[in-house]
Structure 1
Amino acid sequence: MQPAPPLREIHCFARVARHLSFSRAAADLGMSQPAMSQAIGRLEQSLGMRLFDRTSREVQLSAAGKALLPYARTLLDTAAAFSAEAARLAEPPRPIIRLAYAPLVGSLAARAARRLAQREPAIEVELRPAGWRAATQALTRGEVAVALLSAPFPTGFTTGARFGVRVGHLAVPAGDPLAALSQITPGLLGRYKVLLPANRPHGGMWARVAATLNGPHQHHVVADDIDDFAAMLDLVAAGTGLLPVPQLLATWIRRQDVRFVPFDGGDLRMTYGLAWSPERVSPEVMTLIHAVQETLWTR
């Protein structure tokens, strides 16, 4: 088997075939016209056939040249892909940080991830939506480096970048008389149940909501923790109960079967922040923490 022609000569062949001109092909590749003619001549000699029919006025592909041109292009594309992949493999791997986050503040997590992807050198953030319990377990096991979750923050972890999210609306079924009101006060909830989590730390938002109700008959425990407010709206639409929701949710979500009515329940706020293990701090983790802080300052 004869050795394959040099790739550079095949490149010259494809470029002359594109322009049907030795001079323009040579200019494209930064060569002189005689050097281009010599390269084509060597290729034709090694193949034992003419690739171009030349006259004093024009250059045309020969029948053999037309047949071989698709193979030349495929070969050049493959060579280019080979070089690109080799260059990618030669680069050091980008560091990856796994971030668990509460769905309500997913936009903040996404903005921080974009900020790190655009820096130099880039840091890849793998986002994992998770509730409070799942995020805490992932932190404990070392499956994620940082978690963006609501208070109370898990013990044994460092926390920072805290911020408050106001809870000023009640989600009610669209057909309920409450949906037509401009504001709901606790006194209007005598015959209604309010959806609450089982975990209501003292002093927290959920504990304050429960304190505004006159008895346990006025609330319905739906989970240990309420992390995904959007999913809870299905229970509201089904008539299971009303749901205190953050301003963010009332602004972003539109459903025909649920209405968001302002709620006069006092200064209700949920506190969110980052939590991470002090034993697993890395430069990349600190960069992520700073990115979240910067995102909070510029939102």
Structure 2
Amino acid sequence: MLSKKKILPPLDYLLAFEAAAKTGSFARASDELNISETAISRKVRLLEQHYNVPLFVRGNRSITLTQQGGTLLTSVERSMDILREASRDMFANHQANSINLAATNSVAALWLMPRLRKFNRSNARVKITLVSSDSDAECLANEMDLSILRGEGDWPGYESHMLFGETVFPVCSPRYLARNPKAGDLASLPDLDLIEVTSSHAEWMTWKTWLTRSDVSDAPLERAVAFNTYPLAIQAALDGLGVALGWGHLVDHLLEAGELVRPLGDRAVRTESGYYLLKNTSHKGFPEKQIVENWLIEQSAQRKRYAGRAAGV
């Protein structure tokens, strides 16, 4: 019995034969497949040698199928149609199953972006569309497959998994600290260039709430400079404009690289909130979504642990 390898000819032979048979010309088949007429003729000749039967009667400017060629064409067309339909389904399903991932501006810019390149290298077939917004409504829009938001873990209609907790501490650039050594003194912080973030989220921590939680109350913040997104505030700190509030996990990579420092050492404020991965319980799952969800949970498991009241965050 012949092996499958010997029975089946190369696919490109069959494609050349199909194109030549349907167009009635090696030249027109060449145009259809965008390869040379000589290549078409050669592939058909090799297919005839493979089966040891003539598939075409060749004229001066035309070709005509033999009986064997007509029989083969019927099967080849049917098989190729099945393969083409399967390929169309593969492309359509891949596009339909791209992942819409929404996150706050801070998480998108500082936690996700530094990790996406490595993910893309390992998961080339999974396409992530990242939506960055500080609007909870936008992040929880129906078209979002996964979302990352700050809260206490309770979103009706959503399954939540905590990625990391909320530990907040002052950060600045090394050169700012060198110019302003008083940044290492808690009581002196209100006299320095404090970088603030303005937000519609009244529950998000500000310098005023952080200092109050650190027993520095009623301190005027006349030298504070404000930005409307957290990533801009961190960039300002990197540029040496002042001292910003650093969220653990969001700025860890900048601390590890030495681009930012913690002028007060381990002093930090912990909250009951955290950053959660959310998925709508009414949405169906699919493989690409599961791949991204598993990756995010894996990144969470590898995070640095900050000592304190809730030691796991």
Distance 1:139 1:8 in 2: 55
Equivalent residue number for residue 110 of structure 2: 104
Alignment correspondent of 1:283 = 285
| DSSP-derived class of the 1:292 partner | helix
How much does 1:173 deviate? 8.6
Runs of at least 5 residues in structure 2 that lack an aligned partner in the other structure: 1-21, 64-80, 304-313
Does the alignment pair 1:211 with 2:213? yes
Question: What is aligned with 1:75?
Answer: none
Q: Is the 8 A contact 2:182 2:188 kept in 1?
A: no
Contact kept? 1:183, 1:264, Cα under 8 Å: no
In structure 2, relative to structure 1, the CA distance for the partners of 1:182 and 1:114 (3 Å cut) is farther
Structure 1: gaps (5+ residues): 48-81
Structure 1 equivalent of residue 49 of structure 2: 32
**How far off its partner does 1:158 sit?**
3.5
Identify the residue that residue 194 of structure 2 maps to in structure 1. Answer: 194
- Going from structure 1 to structure 2, the CA distance change for 1:235 and 1:10 (only over 3 Å counts) comes to closer
- Aligned with residue 298 of structure 2, among 290, 294, 297: 294
> Are 1:181 and 1:261, in contact at CA under 8 Å, matched by a contact in 2?
no
Is 2:254 the partner of 1:249?
yes
The CA deviation string for residues 38-84 of structure 1, in whole angstroms up to 9 with x for no partner, is 85x7153428xxxxxxxxxxxxxxxxxxxxxxxxxxxxxxxxxx999
Match of 1:66 in 2: none
Count of matched residue pairs: 241
> Do the aligned partners of 2:148 and 2:277 also contact (CA within 8 Å) in 1?
yes
Q: Say which of 220, 227, 230 aligns to 1:227.
A: 230
Contact 1:116 1:124 in 2 (8 A): no
Equivalent positions of 1:53-72 (< 5 A) are none
Compute the displacement of 1:100 (Å): 0.8
Between 180-189 and 97-106, the greater mean CA deviation after superposition: 180-189
Q: Contact conserved, 1:104 with 1:249, CA < 8 A, in 2?
A: no
| Amino acid corresponding to residue 128 of structure 2 in structure 1 | V
Q: Deviation digits for residues 105-138 of structure 1, max 9, x if unmatched? A: 11476379649946xxx6543222223xx2x112
Is 1:170–1:261's contact at 8 Å kept on the other side of the alignment? yes
RMSD of equivalent CA atoms: 5.0
State the TM-score, normalized to the length of structure 2. Answer: 0.54
Aligned residue type for 1:281: H
Whose Rg is larger? Answer: 1
Distance, in Å, in 2 between the alignment partners of 1:85 and 1:33 is: 24
Letter aligned with residue 138 of structure 2? A
Query: Which TM-score applies when normalising by structure 1?
Result: 0.56
Matched residues in 2 for 1:274 and 1:189: separation? 34
- Checking the alignment, whether the CA contact within 8 Å between 1:168 and 1:247 is kept in structure 2 is no
In structure 2, the residue matched to 1:5 is 24
Identity %: 12
SS of aligned partner of 2:100: strand
1:190-242 alpha-carbon deviations (Å, 9 max, x no partner): 42142344656499998444433343413747367x532x5543377484x42
